[in-house]
Amino acid sequence: MAATEKFAVAIVGVGNMGAGMATRLLSLGWSLHVHDVDAARMSALAGLGAQPAASAAQAVQQAQALIVCVVDAAQSAEVLFGAQGAAPAMQPGQLVMLCPTLAPEETQALASRLAEHGLLVLDAPMSGGPLRARDGSMSLMVAGADQAFTQYGALLNALSSKVFRISERVGDGSRTKLVNNLLAGINLVGAAEALALAQRLGLDPAQTLGVIEQSSGQSWIGSDRMQRALAGDWAPRARMALLEKDTCLAVQAAQGVGFEGPLGLATRDVFAQASAAGLQDLDDAALLTWLQRPT
């Protein structure tokens, strides 16, 4: 197919990020098939022109490429190789984009199984949140064979104006995402700690955040999440449990190569403790309330 040609795409997993990508593709006139365990999510996208499917296998029957946008390796394996899995229903040469944040070895294992079906694989985790997925400005970290990157370039460019070509080695997209998410977690813990301290010092947290945003302590995730936290908005765009998972995976990757930094372990433990305290299904902005608790 031509590099600029549109073709039918399937997305399995249309939660926050998956729905953002789906909306993006539909707005650009792509043919889209979607599957999710939550029927309401499919219905919402059907109203925009997507075709709901009863299973992952059904979703790919008329598609040239599959975007997997679920939570973890177990869900990804079920989508691809379960009882109604997509891989056996796809044709050799078609594409699977693996977008969840996974351990590199998990990504590589899935890619190996997909290769047995003759399928092309792009290790393509994303970052930026649902709004950026919807407007095409999210980051897409892509590793995989040049053939897949070139042949399906139109899809990558439709999804994102920030496509980062990491390498040909599947797993390097996952490695890059883990490094990014570890820093995101460190920055978020730091921002929440700073505002909790500001409040304890008798400062106005909103005013303090305004100062930080124009000063050396600014970070994108700190501003984004702390603005929501100060507004009392805990609707889960990015659940606490996801950064718990991602920072844990990042620390495991670090340990696997014999690296131990001063902040990774502490950050992992903060998210684990906040989740254990009952915040796991809230937006990760709720970390501020956890740090504001009486001690």
- Catalytic positions are 177
Nearest alpha carbon to residue 86 among 124, 35, 46: 35
Residue 154 and residue 87 in contact, taking contact as beta carbons nearer than 8 Å:
no
Q: Which of 89, 50, 48 is nearest to 66 (CA)?
A: 89
Name the strand (E) or helix (H) holding 27.
helix 16-27
DSSP conformation letters of 276-289: IIIITTSBGGGHHH
Helix axis angle, 104-115 to 73-81, nearest 10°: 10
Alpha carbon distance 255, 193 (integer Å): 26
CA 290 to CA 287: how far, in whole Å?
5
Where residue 49 falls (left for φ over 0; alpha for ψ -120 to 50; beta otherwise) is left
Polymer length of the chain: 295
Name the 3-class secondary structure at 33: strand
SS3 36: coil
* 244: helix, strand or coil: helix
Contacts of 242 (CB under 8 A, 6+ apart): 71, 101, 284
CA atoms within 13 A on the CB side of 52: 14
